């Protein structure tokens, strides 16, 4: 196969979003030759759609904030299903990662005193989100791209080659992870999207930074790249996925017109004073505050409105509950017949803030609604509804090194990894998660390389041949399904049967449909040739989407409780016994489906559990766990 393009690197990063770029920067700064493989154009990663800000307990808006408070909020938001070590590292290190971005050239909004401004978001006790208007993700990507350019300039000064130690391969898609005979990562197999030509990257360390799975659902905020590539690559390589039943439906996506249904409406609207109303104009969120949060949220509109100016004397508005609670409340209002003409509810900031404030703080939202829906949000309410946004589940990783389970040389960071967010992610925790664990993944890969030294694994030519044959197989078939029709059926099935509200019969039906879709996908037919062929690209993506969708459906059927991003109509409450269980997905030994196993949730260290009082812990823990609490937990 002499026509294959071949490259040798120390570290290959798959994904050029926030976690991928931060991992690449770290690996390069630790002296490792690094390649970044980017499915879309460089700079177009889905991180740019993260609008509200990056959560970090810097204490700029309220000096009472601290990493301990941030840790508590994260655990509460995840309903105590989080990996506590990941939540701890994230809360402790997020401020340093934000300040570090400033040294790269990030231009955050400022307080009158000149500090980084921090805004309110759902589930966060204090204003904690560092932001750039409502375009924070874009600034994060711009800043880290500029850092990569500066590192390339350093290389040019030293070697005369800008790409000597750090190179970006844009519009390139990875289809397989390659291992040696002992099971270690040896490289990746990929293709150029433009020409269809194949590439092999030989590298002993690979970092997955591929984002989420949202394109398996019909209504989603996610862009076209989010087809579960990293999740599926890890599974097929022998690693495991955890928490896949927990899929976050963001409460506020556009619902009209149909062409833009699902596009994200940032939580910043609610953080800056926006409120939710039903068709009668009622602020219905006061009716949906769960008992576990009741002490922390306002009971009247007067108290809620007073919180914005005097948070020490008033409790938070219920519009700022964690996303899973808000999404379920909106869904309940719509089902009860109190929705809008187009099947959503109203999000009102026009009567709450001045046009000048809205233009300054929410410029992207103003333009989005004006251009896409002909709605002036300084004068009118927005119509919004829940939309598939984020998967809390992902590759099982070591919290400190981001090393993936069972596969030496494989690492994962960002949305493709699991554990950090538990059953529900707080808004703003994603961007800081990308930075904290992107850095740790890059560092973990560099440390792994130091341990193996010159004992680098070799790519098997038989594996390369097999990967190529799988990639071109759709061209050799006749009479099979069209990839586009199959994708539409998958999205509709996941939306209808494994969506925001779930039942056992519906999920069993979903698994039956998924099996039929997998059988049909095995005979998909693609016409034309490999150049500029989006139908072929989708056929390859469907292999990943079907595998990951099965993980979601099987785990959701297995978990017999409602928690965070997983709501069962037939098991409507949280179960302390189920909280102790991580559901772990792996490829079945026969290689033809998903195997599910129960695994104990990692225990929280004594110093961390003492940050909570017994009354709160009793809402989540079993009697046996309560009896075993360490000395020092307050009543």
304 contacts: CB under 8 Å, gap ≥ 6: 286, 298, 314, 315, 316, 317, 318, 319
Residue 561: name the closest of 574, 545, 577 by CA: 574
At residue 77, what are phi and psi to the nearest 5 degrees?
Answer: -60, -40
At residue 423, what are phi and psi to the nearest 5 degrees?
Answer: -90, -5
Residue 384: name the closest of 289, 319, 318, 307 by CA: 319
The DSSP 8-state label assigned to residue 566 in this structure reads: B
Whether 231 contacts 548, CB under 8 Å? yes
Residue 542: name the closest of 469, 471, 479 by CA: 471
Whether 563 contacts 497, CB under 8 Å? no
Alpha-carbon distance of 325 to 331, in angstroms, equals 10
* Tokens, residue 380: 């009118």
Alpha-carbon distance of 212 to 388, in angstroms, equals 10
User: Any catalytic annotation for residue 353?
Assistant: no
270, 277, 328, 559: the active-site residue: 270
The DSSP 8-state label assigned to residue 475 in this structure reads: G
Alpha-carbon distance of 475 to 575, in angstroms, equals 49
231, 250, 440, 568: the active-site residue: 250
380 in helix, strand or coil?
coil
Residue with tokens 């508005």: 317
276 contacts: CB under 8 Å, gap ≥ 6: 270, 283, 284, 285, 319, 326, 329, 330, 345, 346, 347, 348
Alpha helices in 560-620 (DSSP H): 576-579, 606-609, 614-617
Characterize the bridge pairing of strands 205-208 and 410-412.
Answer: parallel
User: Any catalytic annotation for residue 250?
Assistant: yes
Residue 206: name the closest of 403, 340, 451 by CA: 403
Alpha-carbon distance of 351 to 330, in angstroms, equals 20
Alpha-carbon distance of 217 to 516, in angstroms, equals 17
- Considering just the CA atoms, what is the radius of gyration of the chain in Å? 24
116 contacts: CB under 8 Å, gap ≥ 6: 58, 60, 98, 102, 108, 109, 110, 130
Beta bridge mates, 166? 34
Is the sign of the CA dihedral 402, 542, 509, 261 positive or negative? Answer: positive
- What residues are annotated to the active site? 250, 270
């Amino acid at each position: 196969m002499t026509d294959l393009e071949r490259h040798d690197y120390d570290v290959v990063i798959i994904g050029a979003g926030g976690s991928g770029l931060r991992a690449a920067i770290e690996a390069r700064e630790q002296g490792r030759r690094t390649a970044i493989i980017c499915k879309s154009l460089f700079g177009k990663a889905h991180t740019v759609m993260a609008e509200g800000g990056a959560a970090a307990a810097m204490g700029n808006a309220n000096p009472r904030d601290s990493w301990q408070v941030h840790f508590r909020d994260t655990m509460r938001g995840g309903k105590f299903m989080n990996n506590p070590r990941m939540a701890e590292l994230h809360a402790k290190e997020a401020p340093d990662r934000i300040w570090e971005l400033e040294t790269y050239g990030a231009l955050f909004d400022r307080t009158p005193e000149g500090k980084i401004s921090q805004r309110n978001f759902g589930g966060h006790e204090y204003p904690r989100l560092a932001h750039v208007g409502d375009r924070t993700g874009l600034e994060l990507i711009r800043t880290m791209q500029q850092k990569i350019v500066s590192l390339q300039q350093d290389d040019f000064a030293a070697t005369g080659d800008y790409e000597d130690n750090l190179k970006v391969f844009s519009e390139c898609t990875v289809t397989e992870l390659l291992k040696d005979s002992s099971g270690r990562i040896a490289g990746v197999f990929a293709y150029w999207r433009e020409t269809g030509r194949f590439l092999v990257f030989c590298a002993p360390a690979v970092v997955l930074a591929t984002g989420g799975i949202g394109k398996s659902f019909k209504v989603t905020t996610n862009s076209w790249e989010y087809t579960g590539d990293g999740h599926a690559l890890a599974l097929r390589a022998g690693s495991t996925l955890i928490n896949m039943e927990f899929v976050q439906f963001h409460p506020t996506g556009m619902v009209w017109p149909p062409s833009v249904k699902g596009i994200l409406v940032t939580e910043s609207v609610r953080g800056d004073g926006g409120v939710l109303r039903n068709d009668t104009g009622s602020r219905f969120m006061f009716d949906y505050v769960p008992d576990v949060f009741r002490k922390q949220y306002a009971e009247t509109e007067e108290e809620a409105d007073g919180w914005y100016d005097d948070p020490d004397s008033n409790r938070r508005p219920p519009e700022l509950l964690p996303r899973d609670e808000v999404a379920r409340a909106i869904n309940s209002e719509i089902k009860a017949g109190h929705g809008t003409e187009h099947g959503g509810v109203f999000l009102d900031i026009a009567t709450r803030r001045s046009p000048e404030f809205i233009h300054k703080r929410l410029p992207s939202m103003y333009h989005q609604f004006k251009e896409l829906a002909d709605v002036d949000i300084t004068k009118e309410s927005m119509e919004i509804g829940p939309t598939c946004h984020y998967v809390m589940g992902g590759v099982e990783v070591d919290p400190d090194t981001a090393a993936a389970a069972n596969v030496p040389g494989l690492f994962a960071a960002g949305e493709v990894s699991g554990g950090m967010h538990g059953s529900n992610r707080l808004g703003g925790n994603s961007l800081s998660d990308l930075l904290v664990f992107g850095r740790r993944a890059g560092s973990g890969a560099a440390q792994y390389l130091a341990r193996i030294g010159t004992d680098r694994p070799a790519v098997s030519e038989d594996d390369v041949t097999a990967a190529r044959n799988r990639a071109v197989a759709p061209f050799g078939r006749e009479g099979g399904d069209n990839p586009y029709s199959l994708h539409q059926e998958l999205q509709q099935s996941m939306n209808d049967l494994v969506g925001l509200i779930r039942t056992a019969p519906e999920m069993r039906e979903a698994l039956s449909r998924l099996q039929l879709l997998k059988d049909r996908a095995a005979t998909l037919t693609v016409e034309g040739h490999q150049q500029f062929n989006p139908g072929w690209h989708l056929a390859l993506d469907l292999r990943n989407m079907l595998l990951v969708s099965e993980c979601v459906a099987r785990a959701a059927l297995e978990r017999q409780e409602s928690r965070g991003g997983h709501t069962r109509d037939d098991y409507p409450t949280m179960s302390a016994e189920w909280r102790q269980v991580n559901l772990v997905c792996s490829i079945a030994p026969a290689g033809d489906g998903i195997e599910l196993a129960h695994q104990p949730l990692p225990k929280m260290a004594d110093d961390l559990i003492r940050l909570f009082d017994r009354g709160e812990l009793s809402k989540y823990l079993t009697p046996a766990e309560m009896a075993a609490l360490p000395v020092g937990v307050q009543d």
